[in-house]
Amino acid sequence: MSDVEYHVLPGQGTDGDNCLVVVAPDGTVLPVVYINPHKPIEDEVAQALNPMPPPAPQVLVPYVQFEDRWEPGELELLFDLEKSDWRVRRFINRATVQGHINLTGIDDPESTSMAKAAKGLFVELGVLSAQRADVIFAIP
């Protein structure tokens, strides 16, 4: 980081806080960064040079299209369970209100998404086989 130039601008932040201007080795001036007084200045410079990547775009499937993936008997069983299982009811209510199913992260082992939880729940409850759940919750 010795070839990185940075300048602290006292009182130049939006709230009168200190700011940081970082000049990359190629001469690119990076955006002004708020300085967290509880972090070492080197950490702030490193963050400016290596910003977090933007989040992956969300995969939203309209609820009507999602429902069309189900066989009539599967839907009948799902709607029967909606009457007695609050988890099924919550999934259907949210999907209906939102108008879509968010399949972002459905294949990520670390994901805690509602769709991933529902997929596992529907297999656990016997509404779907694991193979049918893979088809129904597949990312288009």
State how many domains the chain has. Answer: 2
Which residues is 62 bridged to in the sheet? Answer: 100
Res 2 pLDDT > 60? no
How many Cβ atoms sit within 10 Å of the Cβ of residue 16? Answer: 8
Q: What is the pLDDT of residue 132?
A: 97
Side chain identity at residue 47, one-letter code: Q
Shared domain for 70 and 102, answered yes or no, is: yes
Q: Is position 68 within any domain?
A: yes
Q: Is position 105 within any domain?
A: yes
Domain span at residue 100 reads 60-136
Shared domain for 74 and 44, answered yes or no, is: no
Question: Using 50, 70 and 90 to split pLDDT, how confident is the model at 48?
Answer: low
Q: What is the pLDDT of residue 34?
A: 62
Q: What is the pLDDT of residue 125?
A: 96
> SS3 for the chain, per residue?
CCCCEEEEECCCCCCCCCEEEEECCCCCEEEEEECCCCCCHHHHHHHHHCCCCCCCCCCEEEHHHHHHCCCHHHHHHHHHHHCCCHHHHHHHHHHHHHCEEECCCCCCCCCCCHHHHHHHHHHHCCCCCHHHHHHHCCCC
Task: For residue range 62-94, list pLDDT tens digits in order.
Answer: 999 999 999 999 999 999 999 999 999 999 999
Shared domain for 69 and 98, answered yes or no, is: yes
Res 133 pLDDT > 90? yes
Task: For residue range 11-46, list pLDDT tens digits in order.
Answer: 565 566 666 777 777 777 776 666 666 777 677 777
Shared domain for 45 and 9, answered yes or no, is: yes
